[in-house]
Structure 1
């Protein structure tokens, strides 16, 4: 399985205001009004040993979602024995994986194919 950030569906310090607004729209309430709803929408609320392996593709120049959230989630996932990986792409920006023309895009695509092939060989479904 491939996952895009955020793994935590809750506002964080210095959140980009349009992201906070979209979260509130998706949750149909503000975080202050319904924190439990936000927890229910967070991937991290569903951590478990039966989770599928995850590959996180991270832009080195990510400016909208703190990569530490993914790193923390990844460590928790791995502690449960779920093989998961996080890869950073140099000189890539938020949303870089929209085509297959740039070096980073081609590298990310190869990494996805490799991740899926390794999961298939090991018998671990994604």
Structure 2
């Protein structure tokens, strides 16, 4: 097993201090970003939208807002950042979905011919 896997998933006592330092560092980083924003979103068809993650990332980049990913959600430092990114991401997401639906409709017409 590689050293990284041994540190993260192993149970060898000689790495206990290293594991504890990794946990403390991760916890300290996550604590700096206490405001969560959902990382998944359902579309009008009830399925998970593949466009939401990229929409949030694009919005945060455009606004210059720092975030981290924690499991399947985004985390922000302030509520103001979360609201700004969430509103911008909504607009970006709607544009991406509309563009995808247009592309999908064009390709359906091509395959029917």
TM-score w.r.t. the length of structure 2 is 0.28
Larger radius of gyration between Structure 1 and Structure 2: 2
Higher helix fraction (1 or 2): 2
